[in-house]
Amino acid sequence: MPIPSTILIIGASRGLGHAMAAAFLEKGWTIVGTVREGGRRTLLHDLADEFAGRVEIETVDICAPDQVAALRDRLSGRMFEILFVNAGTTNNPAETIADVTTDEFVRVMVTNALSPMRVIESLEHCVATTGTIGVMSSGQGSVSNNETGMREVYRGSKAALNMFMRSFAARHAGSARAMVLMAPGWVRTELGGPDGRLSIEESVPKLVNVLLSQQGTPGLQYLDYLGRTVPW
């Protein structure tokens, strides 16, 4: 029996991250998925019951550097085919940069831009040399496509994430790893809200196939759930 491939998904308790875990399990992968501390039962725990022996649950709050460091220590010696950082947040979408409080701005920026990069910097040594590092960005992170405004702070945070990932990729030019910023489409989750264009089922299985299609292709791509390049 071949050894199953393993993906580490950061932020797999619900929404898109949980659906990604389910999709990878359906494809025969094993999962290490993270939830936040507190002992709350999550949808990932249900998957662990359903796919006994193929789901490991870890804990981390990506905004707590001590927890990220502790996760790195606990995972030392492990090797993953894919590291995918899904965790993210939003603020009130109607709040403009003129309205937002400094605390709220910092919360969104730290969660969506700084913390995913901290996780990648801390855990990249656990990714196989020909493996994949993925991050959940958003179409809203595209500077070129922003002709309508709205979701200003969120857009800024994902654009910043994209820029930090480009810097990471530049620092690792010559690496054989695939690096992918994913745009899942507007999906009906707690974050996306009820008006999203897509159901989770319409986005995530395709997104997972796009992510898998990048394996073995070095360099950074910014792709949507249909595999189309998103203009930076």
Q: Which one, 61 or 152, has the nearer CB to ligand NAP?
A: 61
Binding piece for ligand NAP, criterion CB under 6 A, among 25-33, 99-107, 190-198, 210-218: 190-198
172 forms part of the interface with ligand NAP (CB under 6 A):
no
208 forms part of the interface with ligand NAP (CB under 6 A):
no
CB of 159 to ligand NAP, least distance (A): 12
- b/e per residue 66-96 (b: at least 16 CB within 10 A): ebbeebbeebeeeebbbbbbbbbbbbeeebe
Q: Which one, 6 or 138, has the nearer CB to ligand NAP?
A: 138
138 forms part of the interface with ligand NAP (CB under 6 A):
yes
Of 189, 206, 212, 222, the one binding ligand NAP (CB under 6 A) is 189
162 forms part of the interface with ligand NAP (CB under 6 A):
no
91 forms part of the interface with ligand NAP (CB under 6 A):
no
Binding piece for ligand NAP, criterion CB under 6 A, among 25-33, 85-93, 171-179, 208-216: 85-93
Q: Please tell me the count of residues contacting ligand NAP according to CB under 6 A.
A: 26
Q: Which residues contact 38 (CB under 8 A, 6 or more apart)?
A: none
CA angle 5, 8, 14 (to 5 degrees): 120
What is the spatial distance between Cα 224 and Cα 66, in angstroms, rounded to a whole number? 32
CB of 126 to ligand NAP, least distance (A): 17
Q: Which one, 11 or 175, has the nearer CB to ligand NAP?
A: 11
CB of 38 to ligand NAP, least distance (A): 8
The first and second tokens of residue 32, run together, are: 């290490």
| Interface mask toward ligand NAP for 3-32; x: CB under 6 A | --------x-xxxxx---------------
* Footprint on this chain of ligand NAP (rule: CB under 6 A): 11, 13-17, 35-36, 61-63, 86-89, 111, 136, 138, 184, 186-187, 189-192, 196
